[in-house]
Amino acid sequence: MARKSETSVVQELMLYAVSAALSSLVLYVGLRQLDPNRSSNKKALEQKKAIAKRLGRPLVNTNSYEDVIACDVVNPDDIDVEFDSIGGLDQVKEALFELVILPLRRPEIFSHGRLLSPQKGVLLYGPPGTGKTMLAKAIAKESGAVFINVRISNLMSKWFGDAQKLVAAVFSLANKLQPAIIFIDEVDSFLGQRRNSDHEAMTNMKTEFMSLWDGFTTDKNSRVMVLAATNRPSELDEAILRRFTQVFEIGKPNQSERVKILKVVLKGEKVDENIDYELVAARCEGFTGSDILELCKQAAYFPIRDLLDGEKSGKNSNASPRALTQADLEKALSDRKGKKASRGLNAGVETTIQEGGDVQNAIYELSKIMSRFAEQ
């Protein structure tokens, strides 16, 4: 009887152990399924391995929040934009090289005294399509700094407190990967003026961001910089504006800058050597760099159409597209302006023929006027 009793007890203990193990497994799987960051964490781990391989160094001691932010890390070697690939903006590029790139690339020269401390905040503002984001990428490329492209959607979480932890992860990861640039495009949508109608989570996130940013500004040895771009600088919170020690206006290009942009865009393309860049640039008055790029793309289709038309008529079956000519660019200009005028007539209003982003440009100009009134 005693042996049977002992056997029964052992069996019950084994049953309890198996039951407990199964319960723990079910609980573990259930909690994993409920984890809001599960898919992000999995993707981040894969991204972290890829980043470590590109950087040539392992990403050690990173937490789950830093792993999520790691998805937005760009290796400077993978950036294909340099200052030479941006037409115009010579004075801005020179200032950025001296104030931003050199301190990140050669920190030992700027380690003597407080006056030469590296810039911790740089703001690029101007109308859309003027090259602000391209400049930001070029800064990371030229400085060799890791580029953390912060997306607000990645910082938002339905779980209370996670947003602040993700913001903290941005700075802690940047510190581990320094030299690093924390880039925020359309920064006014994230760090805009604080209002009573703001959600508590958004207010806490802004406060956390500013607090962590201040911590880096007091660390002389830190090579982490916040770089931001916006079309509406007047919408930024005053406390945020004070933290941007360098502010650059990226306006629409002038005549000489438009010539440089045209040459950069058409560099390496099959173009006619008789193109009058000065004349084309003069006809592109009011265009942004993005507008000029789209114009050249549109003009590049005309040689393709001529080739296809020739094939349909039984000619040039083995020929390659002809070179892009002055006439192609002028035709593209006429087409774009014609469409613009047509939209104005269809709306029943008189339209001055200007190119690209009129509404956003008007908002930008209005914000500048309001800023001047506020300063007076």
pLDDT digits (tens, 9 = 90+) for 114-126: 777 778 899 999 9
Q: Higher-confidence residue: 249 or 152?
A: 249
Crossing angle between the packed helical segments 200-217 and 162-177, to the nearest 10 degrees: 20
pLDDT at 274 over 80: yes
Task: Say which range, 33-37, 147-151, 165-169, 331-335, has the weakest mean pLDDT.
Answer: 33-37
| C-alpha span between 139 and 189 (Å, rounded) | 23
Pairwise CA distance, residues 55 & 304, whole Å: 41
Per-domain boundaries in the chain: 39-249, 255-375
Give pLDDT, residue 303.
92
pLDDT digits (tens, 9 = 90+) for 342-369: 444 444 444 443 444 454 555 555 555 5
As a residue count, the chain comes to 376
Q: Is the pLDDT of residue 281 over 90?
A: yes
Those residues whose C-beta lies under 8 Å from the C-beta of residue 46, and which sit 6 or more positions away, are: none
Q: How confident is the model at residue 59 (pLDDT cuts 50, 70, 90)?
A: low
Percent of the chain with pLDDT over 90: 21
Place of tokens 């919408």: 235
On whether the 255-375 domain is CATH 1.10.530.10, my answer is no
The larger pLDDT score, comparing residue 200 to residue 300, is at 300
In the structure encoding, which two tokens stand for residue 148, read together? 């953390």
User: Once rounded to an integer, what is the mean pLDDT over residues 63-78?
Assistant: 81
Mean pLDDT computed over 135-159: 82
The one-character DSSP state at 324 is B
The CATH H-level superfamily of 39-249 is P-loop containing nucleotide triphosphate hydrolases (3.40.50.300)
174: left (phi over 0), alpha (psi -120 to 50) or beta: alpha
Determine the pLDDT at residue 332: 93
Cα–Cα distance for residue pair 68/289, rounded to 1 Å = 34
180-184 and 146-149: which strand pairing?
A: parallel
180: three-class secondary structure by DSSP: strand
pLDDT at position 354 is 43
- Residue 9 reports pLDDT greater than 90: no
Scanning the structure block, which residue is given the tokens 């510190």? 175
Mean pLDDT, the chain, rounded, equals 79
Query: pLDDT for 16-44, tens place per residue?
Result: 777 777 777 777 666 666 555 566 666 66
**Mean pLDDT calculated for residue range 333-337:** 84
User: Is 70 exceeded by the pLDDT of residue 277?
Assistant: yes
